[in-house]
């Protein structure tokens, strides 16, 4: 076969083509690609080529500095535990609950200690029995308020943790994208040097590298912001360094049915406890009126109306909770299906990029087409990672709707 180029030139082009093929299509981290539970440890900030030693220590969790500055390991469970200890909103909620309990005790101390034989009127009976019940309810509701706040803090901690994981994974994807772009630039320059490609191919490849570098810088900034957001929510120092360990990315579907989820939520949600206790209080008021007065009077009618109102409130709360659970369940299933779709799209983009590279090697594609194929692959990789993030957050929201 007669080649149109000298042997030396042809060898240069062949080596460049091999280099392009070797780099291949970008791949995701193992845990993201497979959805497995295999542990994956990543640094809290990406390493830069020209990073200082201190910055490298902050970003990789390894350092030549004293041990006191080493990054602390952080898992999802530890993030939640830390937030429950030091989150400012939760700390204040606990203080408010204590003060509310103290105030309630002061309000009902005298009437609660009243001997039963001294109760001769409805007012006195209410002061003792209804007052006691109201005091206990207030104390219980204060505790429930703290518990509800704890649930929100758990949710927020998981959101902040997963956002950091996504930012780190996105940074790794941008590094892969830059590596592919740099390889394409080398190939374009090699082809230009032997006279098989025009200068415009080199310029297009350079633009691809510049775009990939800009995306990498943006991704690095996102990691730093995610670290600060996480520290802020946990109530720790904003500059605290973490070596984040993620071993629980979830991609498996939930086996519970919607009806089972709704039943569980109705039995565990704090809101149901609250409205049920309010019904008990309303029924106690009717009981006291019947013992010390007449239920057929206006106070009795009002009390019985309050009982019916409390029952209606319970039914309305059931509807609200059932609707919330149903929405969370549907969102969860949709997020799970999105993972499959985005994975297929990512795999297709990877194959398209590979084939475009092959066409380029045979002179059937331009550098611009390769750059565009790489950008599409990078975008699909990012969308796949977002789908996994969305599903994990959907799992968190679903668990929260159950009252867990």
| 51: number of Cβ within 10 Å | 15
Residue 166: band (very low, low, confident or very high) from pLDDT cuts 50, 70, 90:
confident
Residue 74: helix, strand or coil by DSSP?
strand
Mean pLDDT lowest among 69-78, 117-126, 144-153, 244-253: 117-126
- Helices and strands per DSSP (H, E), number in the chain: 12, 3
User: Is 157 in contact with 234 (CB distance < 8 Å)?
Assistant: yes
- Residues near 170 by beta carbon (within 8 Å), at least 6 away in sequence: 219, 222, 382, 385
Please report the pLDDT score of residue 311 as a whole number: 95
- Burial letters 229-242, b for 16+ CB under 10 A, else e: bbbebbbbeeebbb
- Measured in degrees and rounded to the nearest 5, phi and psi for residue 385 equal -65, -40
Give the distance, in angstroms, between the CA of residue 110 and the centroid of all CA atoms in the same chain.
49
Q: What is the pLDDT of residue 277?
A: 87
What the block records as the tokens of 87 is 């989150």
Q: What is the pLDDT of residues 199-245, one digit of tens each?
A: 988 998 999 999 999 999 999 999 999 999 999 999 999 888 888 87
- The pLDDT, as a whole number, for residue 215 is 92
Q: In what order do the strands lie in the sheet with 242-246?
A: 40-41, 242-246, 72-74
Give the whole-angstrom CA distance, residue 304 versus residue 286.
6
Report the range of poorest mean pLDDT among 59-68, 70-79, 157-166, 368-377.
Answer: 59-68
CA distance 286 to 303: 6
Condensed to tens digits (0 to 9), the pLDDT of residues 140-157 reads: 777 878 888 888 888 889
More confident site: 97 or 331: 331
Query: Exposed e or buried b for every residue in 320-334, given b needs 16+ CB within 10 A?
Result: ebbebbbebbebbbe
Whether residue 45 has pLDDT greater than 90? no
Whether residue 246 has pLDDT greater than 80: no
Ramachandran angles phi, psi of 297, nearest 5°: -75, 175
The pLDDT of residue 312 is 96
* pLDDT at 50 > cutoff 60: no
Burial state string for 132-153 with b = 16 or more CB within 10 A and e = fewer than 16 = bbbbebbeebbebbbebbbbeb
Q: Tell me which of 215-219, 281-285, 340-344 is least confident.
A: 281-285
HSE, side-chain direction, 13 A CA sphere, residue 103: 8
Q: What angle do CA 321, 397, 170 make, to 5 degrees?
A: 160
Summarize pLDDT for 353-389 with one digit per residue, the tens.
Answer: 999 989 988 888 888 899 899 989 999 998 998 898 8
Beta strand 40-41 with 242-246 is: antiparallel
Task: Report the DSSP beta bridge partners of residue 243.
Answer: 73
Q: Which residue has the higher pLDDT, 78 or 26?
A: 78
State mean pLDDT over 329-349. 93
Nearest to 250 by CA among 77, 38, 29: 38
Question: Residue 356 has what pLDDT?
Answer: 94
């Amino acid at each position: 076969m007669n080649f149109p180029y000298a042997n030396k030139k042809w060898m240069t082009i062949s080596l460049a083509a091999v280099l392009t093929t070797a780099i291949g299509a970008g791949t995701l981290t193992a845990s993201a690609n497979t959805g497995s539970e295999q542990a994956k440890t990543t640094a809290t900030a990406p390493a830069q080529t020209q990073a200082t030693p201190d910055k490298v220590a902050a970003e990789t969790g390894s350092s030549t500095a004293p041990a006191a500055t080493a990054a602390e390991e952080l898992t999802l469970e530890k993030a939640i535990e830390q937030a429950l200890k030091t989150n400012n909103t939760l700390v204040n909620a606990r203080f408010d609950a204590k003060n509310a309990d103290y105030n309630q005790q002061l309000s009902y101390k005298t009437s609660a200690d009243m001997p039963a034989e001294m109760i001769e009127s409805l007012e006195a009976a209410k002061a003792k029995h209804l007052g006691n019940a109201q005091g206990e309810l207030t104390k219980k509701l204060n505790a429930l308020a703290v518990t509800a706040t704890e649930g929100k803090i758990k949710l927020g901690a998981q959101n902040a943790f997963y956002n950091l994981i996504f930012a780190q994974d996105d940074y790794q994807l941008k590094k892969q994208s830059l590596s592919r772009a740099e390889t394409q630039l080398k190939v374009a320059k090699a082809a230009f040097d032997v006279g098989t490609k025009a200068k415009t191919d080199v310029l297009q490849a350079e633009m691809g590298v510049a775009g990939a570098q800009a995306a990498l810088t943006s991704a690095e900034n996102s990691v730093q912001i995610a670290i600060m957001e996480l520290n802020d929510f946990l109530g720790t120092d904003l500059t605290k360094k973490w070596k984040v360990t993620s071993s629980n990315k979830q991609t498996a579907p939930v086996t519970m049915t919607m009806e089972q989820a709704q039943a569980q939520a109705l039995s565990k949600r704090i809101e149901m406890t609250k409205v049920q206790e309010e019904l008990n209080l309303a029924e106690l008021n009717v009981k006291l009126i019947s013992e010390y007065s007449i239920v057929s009077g206006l106070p009795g009618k009002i009390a019985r109306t309050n009982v019916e109102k409390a029952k209606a409130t319970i039914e309305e709360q059931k509807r609200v909770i059932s609707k919330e659970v149903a929405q969370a369940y549907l969102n969860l299933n949709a997020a799970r299906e999105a993972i499959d779709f985005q994975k297929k799209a990512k795999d297709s983009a990877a194959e398209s990029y590979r084939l475009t590279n092959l066409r380029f090697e045979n002179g059937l594609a331009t550098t611009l087409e390769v750059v565009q194929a790489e950008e599409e692959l990078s975008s699909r990789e990012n969308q796949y990672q977002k789908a996994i993030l969305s599903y994990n957050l959907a799992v968190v929201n679903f668990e929260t709707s159950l009252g867990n």
